[in-house]
Structure 1
Amino acid sequence: MPATLTDNALAVLRARYLARENGVVVETPDQLFRRVADHIAAAETRFGASAVEVAEVARTFDRMMSSLEFLPNSPTLMNAGRPLGQLAACFVVPVEDSTTGVFEAVRWAAEIQKTGGGTGFSFSRLRPAGDLVASTGGTASGPVSLMQVFDVATEAIKQGGTRRGANMGMLRVDHPDVLEFIAIKLDPTRMSNFNLSVAVTDAFMTAVRDGTTYDLVNPRTGNVTAKLDARRVLDAIANAAWAVGDPGMVFIDRINQLQPTPDLGPIEATNPCVTGDTRIWVEDRGLVPIAELVGTTPLVATWDGEHVVFRRATRVVSTGVKPILRLLTVEGLALRLTADHLLTTETGDTPAGELRPGTRLRGNGEWYTVRDLEAEGEAEVFDLTEPSTSHFFANGLLVHNCGEQPLLPFESCTLGSIDVGRFVAGSDFDWARLRGVIHEAVRFLDDVIEANRYPLPEIERATKATRKIGLGIMGWADALAALHVAYDSPEAIALADRMAGFLEDESLAASRALAERRGPFPTWEGSRWQDASGDTRPLRNATTTTIAPTGTISIIAGCASGIEPLYALAYRRNVLDGAELTEVNPAFQRVAAERGFASDRLFAQVAEHGGVRGNADVPEEIQRWFPTAHEVDVGTHVRMQAAFQRHVHAAVSKTINLAQSATPLDVKAAYQLAYELGCKGITVYRDGSREGQVLVTGARTARTSTSLHCPECASVLVVQSSCRLCRHCGWSVCG
């Protein structure tokens, strides 16, 4: 049965989602849900469904959405069944270390953002500021400077006025420019269209624990350029996040360890590559230069341990201009490739840069001997991925697959969320009904991959190679309140673990059922799923779960966002480019009326202060049921995220909301606890630390800044929000 939409939901739908003609809304919410359902269900004809079967699937999809039990990500609601047709929420765009690579990435991002998609970038491959540019004899401007090109482009696009430009930028903690990256948003005029995260390694966190230094590494050369005190850098990250909400942290090694398709390359690899004239042995064609194979999926020669066999390459792409080496063998073979490209030797796969004269290399049925290896400037290089054996023959030598980055370059995320608050039945969840919706939602999201009109052909190929989907939940805080379980109680953490485990198990069961009918994702061979213990039946999707932010779709559903606690029981929400909507939590309003303590004075107090804990007008039992984000301690925030992360294949989007009175030590403690508990990343936000924050309670205070010099190295400090940070040595302090 269709659910009743709130006034705020209707306002958001009219502003962003409902179809218009000449600026006038010409679609109702019911028509929107039917439009989306019909368009997504029509994809099932590709799997042999009849018209009758498609109509039945469309009715199921329509019922899930109109009842507000499940909603897909915003681009699907906006664009399904309309000319634009782009349905995915987010995309990873590779940024290569060359002028061509950078501005190609800007172009790709523009194509994506104008369709309503968000973009993620890692800038870790870019050489540091001041580094050599061989082609001009000049010096590089560095990733922080180039990032601003992406920010300006997003500002110009603003995604057609329907969905604000959203970018995630990431830099490795061992990049020489990491301190400049940490400090960039201390200047409030910079990078307003980006959220930032530092990609933190296990080696860095070990150095923090041990109180030692760690290496900064030039990504162009692989050479160590300097050392920094790890604890000082962690302090700098925490202080900047305390001041302005950025950067967050991503635990990059953990993500690599858990990613489902390791044969497609490690996340944030340096992209080992070969030059365009490298000849690839292609079935029925012979030796073909790899540059001529770009955009195709040829059958290429590889080695199965005993014989030459031909296997399908899932992607061949150009990855820009990079420094290369020229490898010569005693027998006369030559290969030009990057220093990190792996070749098969008698002792295993070895980076080209580590080969020595006399090293024996695997060829086609015979061995070759290295004679010489020398630098040969820079050249355009290319990637090939063969997922079955992870190897292919290049100029007669057996080499390992080229690497890729996450989602893996050009992958997109197809997301949807279930409002679990609508599945509360008495003192528990209706698990059977929830199981049915999970299975239908997985089917819906897999159909979206087929129905999507991709902004770039590279994105379509990469997305369909792994068919990753991300089914999550929203309304978690509403569900806990309805169950009379306090968000900040051990019972809530245990229930989170149960809910996340149920979502994972059932979404995998649904994906296996789809694989039986439609086939597994093309890169199933060699995936972690194939090698896992337990049920190893093929999956349709390389990932099935995530926890998305659900900011706008939670307004449509009339529920709390994602797995967040209630931000406040009454507040002003900034949406629609500066407009404000006033919201009172309907569950609290209903309980207050039922218990007889509702009053205009109480609601005015709640609107000013956000919560009711400590309010003598509210029964203690009710105070316990309705904690707000700033009343939940840091440890509980992180433990809730970790409980879900244990069962979620992708990332868990959760903001560790802190009161304005929180200290930088609170931020640092949250980062360290998140790492210890197995989270993949963390975002910490202190109330009032960023202008234009989405949810607002209470008043605002002004900031002050003063020009100072670093007491350690005398460099000029960045000063903002009572924080001072040195971009040279990492010294920082707040307060």
Structure 2
Amino acid sequence: MTPSAHTSEQAMAPVAAAPCAPLPASFLAPQALSQAVLKSKYLQPGELTAGDVFDRVAKAIASIEAPDQQAHFEAVFRLHLAAGAIGAGRIMASAGTGMAVTLANCFVQPVGDCLGGRDEGGYPGIHDALAQAAETLRRGGGVGYDFSRIRPQGARINGTGLNASGPCRFIDAFDKSCLALQSMGARRGAQMAVLRCDHPDVLAFIAAKQTPGRWSSFNVSVGITDAFMQAVEHDQMWDLVHRVSPRDLRPPAGLAASLATGPYVRGDGLWVYKTLPARTLWSAISHAAHHSAEPGLLFLDTIDRDNNLRAIETIEATNPCGEQPLPSYGGCVLGPIVLPRFVRNAFGQGGAAAFDTRAFAQAVRWQVRALDNVLDITAWPLPQQASEARAKRRIGIGFTGLGDTLVMLGLRYDQPQGRKMARTIAQTMRDHAYTASVALAKERGTYPLFDADVCLAPGTFASRLSPALRASVRKHGLRNSHLLSIAPTGSVSLAFADNTSTGIEPVFDWSYTRHFHAADGHRHRFEAQDHAWRIYQSLGSSALRLPSAFVTALQIRPEHHIAMVAAVQPFVDGAISKTLNLSAHTSADDIGALFMQAWREGLKGLTIFRPNRVHKAVLQPPIQPSRSSGD
């Protein structure tokens, strides 16, 4: 069945049948690491198995259905979870517990250019933003921020005679607040700091995490514009600007004359603090990423062009792992689907290996309803977040286990056939998610801000849907403004999917050592095995000579990692969390070239990881099976 097979009006009717039945219970013994993660992160008092978690979550998700339908939908959602369409970590840990925590993993919160109250643009001052962030982190959410509105170091502060300290000093305060919450027993907080590529303090921001221990609760990314990338390509000069003037209007000391024309007001009303070659800034980004694996990049114009709501909202940051670009106070509930559950005849045992597109499509449709329900049962940390969620009803259906799925189908992750299969899976997910959201809009109503002309404007994600589906969107609307997001899914893949490869990533290795910090504070060492490899071994195959589809992350050329994301991104209206694992021998210039490739191929962002003396590999392979001659 092709991904476009369900675009008729009949296919857009509400789904009435139960989801696909789960596969027969696995004959593989549970892995110790998976059991430890399940126990530490997801089992609640009285629960002993993953099935107990499914019972609790299904009951919670069904609780907003009509009273006479709740028992039916509870049974449907229970089958849905067992079949591989699960919730993200917050949902699986907390739904149905009665705890006042959020079921959303992703948030973005605004930070204004003042200490208290609101700045000229209506953004909350730093003290208020810090308090709001603390509440969101305390309730279990991860938060991203764009700190670019904060005036740079040395800028004028009206009426005080003082110089501004700049955004980096305030990021220190957000980091300390998060660490203080952890010391009081709160869940480990995750934050994302973004600064635009034209902010006068961007060089200090880029260098900050080269200091060991600084901003330890933060990932950091530079917000990159097309104009900057074009300036890099053409070796042009680049202005660092802000709306607030410098206190000292003399040329900055120590800068070469060619780099310092002195602060002045540009034609657009912004103050130019400094002008430098774009490639100088690009080199600083590449070398910092080479040294400390940060910053990552967010391609802001690519994100904006694709946004179904670009006419009515501005996106300047993402959640901490980068899979969900969000506006101010935006939040999103996530739900990955375990792709290996839909592989039939893995490794050609019993027939030709195939991906069950029909069953997967049905799971996607049910996932839309499940996550739409989650929006109404979650506790939102802030009233602004609740209002934003109600107005747009963002959800993030994704997948996990792509790497293992391709291995089980006999397809290499780094070859065109593997990317073609990934594209088919992603297109199926897109088409059936939007189909189901149309059906849900007919049943429950559209999201309040739905406007067909806005959503389907030329260039938006929705404008690339099939003609039949676009016509249905225009006629009936959508229940959810955004529907798709591919997250890292680390712990849920361990706990509920037998250590399948995570998200869009290839397999790290087939057998490796992993250290795990349990809830009791102890650090445990586990020997973990990849799910696809365990299946292969269970079939009586030799583990010492693997077929060519068994290719690991570090055996894949970096450009092929990027090509995989480029194949899938056109079918994901959110974003894709992707860390490009590089060898220790990768140079800073190589990293710059890879960042440039990512922008040219339409990625919305990219992060790299290169082991070094400061950042060592988390996972360590204890064995190395020999490769087949096909590799």
TM-score for the superposition, normalised by structure 2? 0.81
- Asked whether the 8 Å contact 1:570–1:584 carries over to 2, the reply is yes
Alignment of 1:522 onto 2:444: no
**1:16 positional shift:** 1.7
Alignment of 1:142 onto 2:158: no
Distance 1:159 1:444, change over 3 A: farther
Cα separation, 2, equivalents of 1:546 and 1:666? 28
Candidates 297, 316, 326, aligned match of 1:407: 326
- Asked whether the 8 Å contact 2:325–2:574 carries over to 1, the reply is no
After TM superposition, the structure 1 stretch with the greater mean CA deviation from structure 2, 526-535 or 218-227, is 526-535
Instruction: Give 1:357's aligned residue.
Output: none
**1:7 positional shift:** 2.8
Q: Which secondary structure state, in structure 2, belongs to the residue aligned with residue 72 of structure 1? A: coil
Cα separation, 2, equivalents of 1:693 and 1:121? 28
Instruction: Give 1:438's aligned residue.
Output: 364
Instruction: Give 1:7's aligned residue.
Output: 32
Candidates 80, 89, 96, aligned match of 1:64: 80
- Asked whether the 8 Å contact 2:146–2:194 carries over to 1, the reply is yes
Give aligned-pair identity as a percent: 36
Instruction: Give 1:585's aligned residue.
Output: 530
Instruction: Give 1:308's aligned residue.
Output: none
Q: Provide Cα deviations, 1:438-479, integer angstroms capped at 9, x if missing partner.
A: 000111011111111111111000111111111011010111
Cα separation, 2, equivalents of 1:261 and 1:597? 52
Instruction: Give 1:131's aligned residue.
Output: 155
Cα separation, 2, equivalents of 1:672 and 1:159? 40
Q: Which secondary structure state, in structure 1, belongs to the residue aligned with residue 432 of structure 2? A: helix
Instruction: Give 2:264's aligned residue.
Output: none
Instruction: Give 1:151's aligned residue.
Output: 175
Which amino acid in structure 2 is aligned with residue 54 of structure 1?
A: Q
**1:161 positional shift:** 5.2
**1:596 positional shift:** 5.3
- Asked whether the 8 Å contact 1:671–1:682 carries over to 2, the reply is yes
- Asked whether the 8 Å contact 1:173–1:198 carries over to 2, the reply is yes
Candidates 535, 538, 552, aligned match of 1:628: 552
Cα separation, 1, equivalents of 2:455 and 2:596? 30
Q: Provide Cα deviations, 1:80-128, integer angstroms capped at 9, x if missing partner.
A: 1122242100111111111121121111111111121100011011100
**1:526 positional shift:** 6.2
What are the residue-to-residue correspondences of 1:288-299 with 2, within 5 Å?
none
- Asked whether the 8 Å contact 2:238–2:276 carries over to 1, the reply is yes
Q: Which secondary structure state, in structure 1, belongs to the residue aligned with residue 64 of structure 2? A: helix
What are the residue-to-residue correspondences of 1:15-54 with 2, within 5 Å?
15-20=40-45, 28-44=49-65, 49-51=66-68, 53-54=69-70
Candidates 568, 578, 589, aligned match of 1:644: 568
Alignment of 1:660 onto 2:584: yes
Candidates 469, 492, 516, aligned match of 1:553: 492
Which amino acid in structure 2 is aligned with residue 496 of structure 1?
A: A
Alignment of 1:90 onto 2:106: yes
Which amino acid in structure 1 is aligned with residue 316 of structure 2?
A: E
Instruction: Give 2:295's aligned residue.
Output: 247
Alignment of 1:77 onto 2:92: yes
What are the residue-to-residue correspondences of 1:322-337 with 2, within 5 Å?
none
Which amino acid in structure 2 is aligned with residue 618 of structure 1?
A: R
Cα separation, 2, equivalents of 1:135 and 1:406? 37
**1:162 positional shift:** 7.1
Cα separation, 1, equivalents of 2:210 and 2:513? 26
Q: Provide Cα deviations, 1:541-596, integer angstroms capped at 9, x if missing partner.
A: 11111111111111112211001010111122233365433212243244356565
* Runs of at least 5 residues in structure 1 that lack an aligned partner in the other structure: 270-404, 599-616, 700-735
Instruction: Give 1:227's aligned residue.
Output: 275
Which amino acid in structure 1 is aligned with residue 404 of structure 2?
A: D
- Asked whether the 8 Å contact 2:290–2:587 carries over to 1, the reply is yes
Cα separation, 1, equivalents of 2:387 and 2:603? 30
Which amino acid in structure 1 is aligned with residue 529 of structure 2?
A: V
Cα separation, 1, equivalents of 2:606 and 2:241? 24
**1:138 positional shift:** 1.0
Relative to total residues, which structure has the larger strand share, 1 or 2?
1
Cα separation, 2, equivalents of 1:31 and 1:62? 10
* Runs of at least 5 residues in structure 2 that lack an aligned partner in the other structure: 1-21, 117-124, 246-269, 318-323, 346-352, 624-631
Q: Provide Cα deviations, 1:383-423, integer angstroms capped at 9, x if missing partner.
A: xxxxxxxxxxxxxxxxxxxxxx9611111111010011110
- Asked whether the 8 Å contact 2:209–2:215 carries over to 1, the reply is yes
Which amino acid in structure 1 is aligned with residue 399 of structure 2?
A: I
Which amino acid in structure 2 is aligned with residue 75 of structure 1?
A: R
Alignment of 1:238 onto 2:286: yes
- Asked whether the 8 Å contact 1:424–1:482 carries over to 2, the reply is yes
Candidates 671, 676, 684, aligned match of 2:600: 676
- Asked whether the 8 Å contact 2:311–2:454 carries over to 1, the reply is no
**1:486 positional shift:** 1.0
Which amino acid in structure 2 is aligned with residue 674 of structure 1?
A: A
- Asked whether the 8 Å contact 1:245–1:689 carries over to 2, the reply is no
- Asked whether the 8 Å contact 1:203–1:214 carries over to 2, the reply is no
Candidates 540, 556, 570, aligned match of 2:479: 540
Instruction: Give 1:258's aligned residue.
Output: 306
Distance 1:159 1:93, change over 3 A: farther
Q: Which secondary structure state, in structure 2, belongs to the residue aligned with residue 10 of structure 1? A: helix
**1:26 positional shift:** 5.2
Which amino acid in structure 1 is aligned with residue 527 of structure 2?
A: T
Cα separation, 1, equivalents of 2:591 and 2:111? 30
Cα separation, 1, equivalents of 2:566 and 2:151? 34
- Asked whether the 8 Å contact 1:574–1:693 carries over to 2, the reply is no
- Asked whether the 8 Å contact 1:263–1:527 carries over to 2, the reply is no
Distance 1:103 1:670, change over 3 A: same
Alignment of 1:425 onto 2:351: no
Which amino acid in structure 1 is aligned with residue 605 of structure 2?
A: G
Q: Which secondary structure state, in structure 2, belongs to the residue aligned with residue 695 of structure 1? A: coil
Instruction: Give 2:397's aligned residue.
Output: 471
**Structure having greater relative contact order (Cα 8 Å, sep ≥ 6):** 2
Cα separation, 2, equivalents of 1:159 and 1:446? 34
Q: Provide the alpha-carbon RMSD of the alignment.
A: 2.2
- Asked whether the 8 Å contact 1:94–1:409 carries over to 2, the reply is yes
Q: Provide Cα deviations, 1:246-290, integer angstroms capped at 9, x if missing partner.
A: 100000111111211123233239xxxxxxxxxxxxxxxxxxxxx
Which amino acid in structure 2 is aligned with residue 129 of structure 1?
A: Q
**1:696 positional shift:** 3.5
**1:193 positional shift:** 0.7
**1:695 positional shift:** 3.0
**1:690 positional shift:** 4.8
Which amino acid in structure 1 is aligned with residue 309 of structure 2?
A: T
- Asked whether the 8 Å contact 1:215–1:227 carries over to 2, the reply is yes
Cα separation, 2, equivalents of 1:523 and 1:152? 37
What are the residue-to-residue correspondences of 1:106-255 with 2, within 5 Å?
106-158=130-182, 163-220=187-244, 222-255=270-303
Kindly tell me the number of residue pairs found equivalent between the two proteins.
533
Which structure has the bigger radius of gyration?
1
Cα separation, 2, equivalents of 1:207 and 1:646? 25
TM-score for the superposition, normalised by structure 1? 0.70
Which amino acid in structure 1 is aligned with residue 526 of structure 2?
A: L
- Asked whether the 8 Å contact 1:122–1:169 carries over to 2, the reply is yes
- Asked whether the 8 Å contact 1:124–1:219 carries over to 2, the reply is no
